[in-house]
Chain A
């Protein structure tokens, strides 16, 4: 997990370095959408498990 995270971090920084602020904004937006998706999915799963 550590290596995956580190690779992701370096990749994100290189993208920001090459494509600038727009890439950073898009990256953050993608992160937020992913977060909302993961939270919604895990909440549904938890509701099914715990009622």
Chain B
């Protein structure tokens, strides 16, 4: 076991658990705001088709929400178990932020999730809509606090070092640190796009099989309509974030663009494929489009791009991982933009629901938002290395004194347990999709008061007690 590196195992373990976790909040944030839109339209128009769409996606939202909560709790424990030094040094900053997530978000979600899931027909439609909005607001608060904590690790501000740990000198600067105002909308837009392409992909699958046609047409229209607006906003916010990170974390963006030279050639190409040699500080192979690097990264026809040799070797992240994480996200964003433009063209010509090649492309793009989000997070987290708190604390100095064998054992356990979680989620979700919205149990009870909502359960208790006598 001597050859195993505890630092690497701790990082792989956290990377695995957080990668698995982020899939589910991304889906649930995207879906809950879609549900808000659909239920709002149902209240406005009274069209029962919106209610059917709501009830179908509510089930998938509930499952992703459940898995997201369970896998998120694990991460807090991991700070203490595998990164105890980080927890000790940065606890005064990270602890309150995670505590605020529990207070503002979990309480709100826990209070209204029950009404959202089981309240249809038991409470009035307006109260039900209010519950959906509150759960959606809870996801927004949750994302805000987590992004505040993570952004502080990327661009730390508002703290002072007091010998053994950081102390907060200005909470406002801790929360509204330089990258948070741009990273938060970037992540929220990513989640909304994930939801939009998820619902569009499933609808396209129904349309290709001529099943659930009315449901699928309306859902596809809402999904791709939202995607058009969201992807345009995401391109703009993504560009702003690029500028912000270039200013505060130049090494990350240098690695993300794949150049080694202090200044690239002018005009700079946009690199799509590279084979970097980190030891020699050069690319063995590189393939790009001329001019595009200057246009996209410098917004000019002849701008130069800075390479990774501007950063000292001992402060450089691994270029290959950062570059391909970033490219994965970027290429998917381009594909989303292209499909959004094509959807408008097809919609204009009345072929949005019948162009089979387009529907097939949408089916393939169903999980695209999740993959893009993972690519973006790999860029953010690997690009911050070798620091866990950028410029202040190296990852190697943040670890717990845990033997490699223990870390390996817990890593294998996590992989086994999460495989069960992931498989169960996939099986139930795919089964639900195969069954379709028409296969759901019959319509809910008519709306009534809160007192009436409690009556069936009280009646059930009475029946149970009577049967015991």
Interface set of A (CB-CB < 8 Å, partner B): 1, 5, 13-14, 16-18, 20-21, 24-25, 28-29, 31-32, 34-36, 38-39, 41-43, 45
Q: CB distance A28 to B344 under 8 Å? A: no
Q: State which size class the interface on B falls in.
A: 20 to 34
The interface residues of chain B, by DSSP majority, are classed as: helix
Do B344 and A34 touch (CB < 8 A)? yes
The 4 closest A-B pairs by CB, nearest first: A35-B228, A17-B301, A17-B295, A20-B299
Known: A21-B239, A35-B229, A42-B352. 12 other contacts (CB 8 A): A5-B338, A13-B291, A13-B296, A17-B299, A20-B299, A20-B300, A32-B232, A35-B225, A39-B228, A39-B347, A41-B348, A43-B221
Q: Which residues of B contact A18 (CB under 8 A)?
A: 301
Quick one: given A16-B295, A17-B299, A21-B239, are A32 and B345 in contact (CB under 8 Å)? Answer: no
Closest to A8 in B: B341
**11 contacting pairs across A/B (C-beta < 8 A):** A5-B341, A5-B342, A16-B299, A17-B295, A20-B300, A24-B236, A31-B341, A32-B233, A38-B344, A39-B225, A39-B347
Confirm or deny: B235 has a beta carbon within 8 angstroms of a beta carbon on chain A.
yes
B350 sits at the interface (CB 8 A):
yes
Q: Mark B210-251, 1 if CB is under 8 A from A, else 0.
A: 000000000001000100110011011001000000000000
Smallest distance from the beta carbon of B225 to chain A beta carbons, Å?
5
CA distance A20 to B296 in the complex (A): 9
Q: Which of A1, A21, A42 contacts B299 (CB 8 A)?
A: A21
Of all chain A residues, the one with the shortest Cβ separation from B334 is: A9
CA distance A32 to B301 in the complex (A): 26
Which of chain B's residues have a CB closer than 8 A to the CB of A17?
A: 291, 294-295, 299-301
B340 at interface, CB cutoff 8 A: yes
Task: Report how far A33 CA is from B322 CA in the complex, Å.
Answer: 35
- With A31-B232, A35-B225 known as contacts, the answer to whether A24 contacts B344 (CB < 8 A) is no
Q: Is the CB of B344 within 8 A of A45?
A: no
Other-chain residue from B228, B294, B299 in contact with A32 (beta carbon distance below 8 A) = B228
B292 contacts the other chain (CB 8 A): yes
Check A32–B229 contact: CB distance below 8 A: yes
Q: A43 CA to B292 CA in the complex, in Å?
A: 37
Looking at the complex, which one of B235, B292, B301, B348 makes contact with A38 (CB distance below 8 Å)?
A: B348
Cross-chain contact A42 with B239 (CB below 8 angstroms): no
- Residues of chain B within 8 A (CB-CB) of A21 are 239, 299
Structural contact, B340 and A35, CB atoms closer than 8 A: yes
Question: What separation, in Å, do the CA atoms of A42 and B221 have in the docked complex?
Answer: 10
Chain A residues with Cβ below 8 Å from B345 are 1
Bitwise, B428-446 to A at CB < 8 A (1) or not (0) is 0000000000000000000
The answer on a CB contact under 8 Å between A28 and B235 is yes
Residues from chain B with Cβ under 8 Å of A39 in the complex: 221, 225, 228, 344, 347
CB pair B239–A24 under 8 Å, yes or no, is yes
The docked-state distance in angstroms from the alpha carbon of A1 to that of B347 is 14
Which residues of chain A are within 8 angstroms of B233 by Cβ–Cβ distance? Answer: 28, 32
Question: What sequence of 0s and 1s flags, for each residue 406-420 of chain B, a beta carbon within 8 Å of any chain A beta carbon?
Answer: 000000000000000
A44 to B295, CA, bound (A): 39
Task: Tell me the bound Cα distance from A13 to B334 in angstroms.
Answer: 13
Instruction: Tell me the smallest distance from the CB of B81 to a CB of chain A, in Å.
Output: 44
- Give min CB distance, A5 to chain B, whole Å: 7
State how many angstroms separate the Cβ of B203 from the closest Cβ of chain A. 15
Considering the chains assembled together, what is the distance between the CA atoms of A39 and B340 in angstroms? 12
Q: Which of chain A's residues have a CB closer than 8 A to the CB of B294? A: 17
Inside 8 A of B344's CB, which chain A residues have their CB?
Answer: 34-35, 38-39
Interface string of B289-316 (1 = CB under 8 A from A): 0011011100111000000000000000
Question: Of B229, B236, B348, which is within 8 A of A25 by CB?
Answer: B236
| Distance, CA A25 to CA B350, complexed state (A) | 29
Q: How far is the CA of A8 from the CA of B300 in the complex (A)?
A: 18
Q: Closest approach, in angstroms, between the C-beta of B353 and any C-beta of chain A?
A: 9
Give complex CA distance A32, B341 in Å: 10
